[in-house]
Structure 1
Amino acid sequence: MEIPPHPRGCTVTNRFVSSEDGAIKIPALVVKDEGFVAVENAIKSYKWKDEDFLLVSYPKNGTNFLWEIMTMLLRGTSEYIQDFKAVCMMDLFPVTKLDTDNLFASPRVLNTHYRLEALPAEFHGKKTVIVMRNPKDVCVSYFHQESKMEFPKPGNENATLEMTLHEYMKIFLYGQDMPFGNFFKYIEHTWTLRNKPNVHVVFYEELVQDPVKAITKVNDFMGTGRSPEMIAQIADVTTFSKMQPAKTQQGHDNTALLNVLRMDETALKRTLALMFRKGKVGDWKDQFTVADNELFDAFLEQWTGGKDIPFIYE
């Protein structure tokens, strides 16, 4: 099977995030080369604050929703968080600048799409929430996001992802060079952490289908002690139909982030708008052809590492 190269994969950038012993190498997200260097150095030098939490997820697994929920629980409010979430994304923004530039005070939720085993020991054993989503919906959501993003290349600074969902699916299933690495290797590792006392695993579908129950479990894990009434309010405002317009239309001072990413305001807003599309459980059924589903199911059948993961597909 011929696997198309990812236009921003490590075969292009040759950039990785590696464990301290070098045994684990994860293809890095590189927006601008100098920005990645600043991000990498900050991750290596960061000193953890005990009042903070770490949110770990592969892209398009519900990171934005769970970050909003966790931050609301920390602050005891059902008001949308006005502080800019992207500065807590340590893959994009130098995490050390949160304190040196007084950008987002603790307690806070730092989040990453890198596998925990690739991060420095400073991030291990901390209070960590992992959010997971069924791989078929992840693939569809990631494809639609990346198909609208620009992947500058020589001679065309506005180049986009020029492939079908079926072609992209081959990269998603079998490719190893995507930023943040292969989804299935990622999930295999994070699933092994589920029984650690400092880790709580949430399935995205649970947040959609029974948000009060899911948020109550997160509240209990975090020890935030919010009332059933507050949890119900948070569950209500973080439904996709309410949160999508509220967050994509929200205004922020983006100066700090723009300086690091070397992006202009228009490009940043376009990128952020891609974070929210449908949020639908089972959207894959409206997107896959018969051939798509056969290709995906053939992979899942031979994927031994995820046989005991209770994915929710609809």
Structure 2
Amino acid sequence: TAETDAYSKMSLETEKMKESRPELFDFHGVPMIHYFTDNWENIQNFEARPDDILIATYPKAGTTWVSYILDLLYFSQTFADRQASIPIYNRVPFLEFEVPGIGSGKDLADHLPTTPRLIKTHYPVQFVPKSFWEQNCRVVYVARNAKDNMVSYYHFDKMNMIQPEAGEWSSFFQRFMDGKMGFGSWYDHVNGWWKKKQTYSNIHYMYFEDLAEDTGREIDKLCSFLGISPSADVKDKVVSGVQFDNMKKNKMANYSTIPVMDFKISPFMRKGKVGDWKNHFTVAQNQVFDEDYRKKMKDPTLQFRNEI
């Protein structure tokens, strides 16, 4: 059948990926891998609609968490069956994703049947297709403290075949500080989006740590930004559905159905904790990191918490 053919083609692509991890290269001044730049022209010409909602994050900063929150807020009542049958990565397409045999995020986004369309990106702010700004789309940006973000990215690179090899922790640690990561430097990313917020009022800038500390409170702020008022019942369902342990068990949310990730190495949803960096950073690494951080994070209005 066509489905079997598609599946064997996908398995073949996955095997190829396991053999050769992609390399980073300089793309318009940002380290990237080809899977997120191959469809560049088409993505730049993407036609956003005024009611689209763009979810933007640096990789491993809470993207799936916020995608799932938004999906439940908007569609848990009307499309209950979709929660049980369509993986989150098809409900909230990854715009720049272009992997042979697996799919194109742009095509998925173009054909989304829902209104609003929820679309995610890891692009630094300067790469976002201009139609999102022209249509004055709402953007939800999620930022996570650099130390936890680094640890999460490290485990992700170990298990994700379409990412460069993670290598040893000590060399990964250095690469992260140097910004030699897919989608560029964490510092450039969080600062670039923070600056954009000063001139473009339709950005809601959220912090992973706040969401972990009080999910309900942050969902209220998000609803207020989006101009929606879910019933108490819907809100309770969302808060419970997006608890880390519930999402980790949920096949439609935990990415276990995507063939490019090796769950034997690490689950896609690992801990979801604030402060896990303490289990990875040595005392010396922490000192080096803090010193480097002070030099790079000049804007006193952008503040992160490394623990809660």
Using the size of structure 1 for normalisation, the TM-score is 0.77
Q: Matches of 1:189 and 1:271 in 2, distance apart?
A: 35
**Is 1:227 matched up with 2:220?**
no
Paired residue for 2:9? none
Structure 1 unaligned residues grouped into runs of 5+: 1-6, 19-24, 153-158, 255-264
What CA distance in whole angstroms lies between the structure 2 residues aligned with 1:82 and 1:305?
A: 45
CA deviation string 1:63-82 (max 9, x = no partner): 00000001111214496464
Seen in structure 2, the aligned counterparts of structure 1 residues 104 and 284 have a Cα distance that, compared at 3 Å, is farther
The gaps in structure 2 that reach 5 residues or longer are 1-20, 99-103
Tell whether 2:297 aligns with 1:294. Answer: no
| 1:193-224 deviations in Å (ceiling 9; x for gaps) | 33432111111111111000000111111122
Aligned residue among 131, 134, 143 for 1:132: 143
Could you state the TM-score of these two structures normalised by the residue count of structure 2? 0.78
Change (3 A) 1:110 1:270: same
Aligned to 2:122: 113
Give the one of 168, 187, 192 matched to 2:190: 187
Match of 1:162 in 2: 167
Residue type at the aligned position of 1:206: D
CA distance in 1, matches of 2:178, 2:261: 30
**For residues 167 and 116 of structure 1, what CA distance do their matches in structure 2 show?**
27
Map Cα deviations across residues 231-257 of structure 1 (whole Å, 9 max, x no partner). 2221111111111111468799x8xxx
Residue type at the aligned position of 1:98: L
Q: Helix, strand or coil: the match of 2:274?
A: coil
Cα distance change, pair 269–147 in 1 and its aligned pair in 2 (3 A): closer
Which string of whole-angstrom CA distances, capped at 9 and with x for unpartnered residues, describes residues 120-176 of structure 1? 311224210100111000011111111233479xxxxxx94331x22211110113x
Shift of the alpha carbon at 1:58?
0.2
CA distance in 1, matches of 2:109, 2:286: 47
Residue matched to 2:158: 147
Q: Please state how far the C-alpha of 1:106 moved relative to its aligned partner.
A: 3.1
Give the corresponding residue for 2:13. Answer: none
Superposed CA offset, 1:251-301 (max 9, x none): 99x8xxxxxxxxxx6435759974311000111112211112112111112
| SS of match in other structure, 1:144 | helix
The residue that corresponds to 2:213 in the other structure is 209
1:305 corresponding residue in structure 2: 298
Q: Which moved more, 1:225-234 or 1:207-216?
A: 225-234
Whole-Å Cα distance in 1 between the matches of residues 75 and 151 of structure 2? Answer: 33
**In the alignment, is the contact (CA less than 8 A) between 2:84 and 2:252 conserved in 1?**
no
Q: CA deviation at 1:45?
A: 2.2
Paired residue type of 1:220: S
8 Å contact kept, 1:137–1:282: yes
Seen in structure 2, the aligned counterparts of structure 1 residues 96 and 114 have a Cα distance that, compared at 3 Å, is closer
Equivalenced residues, count: 274
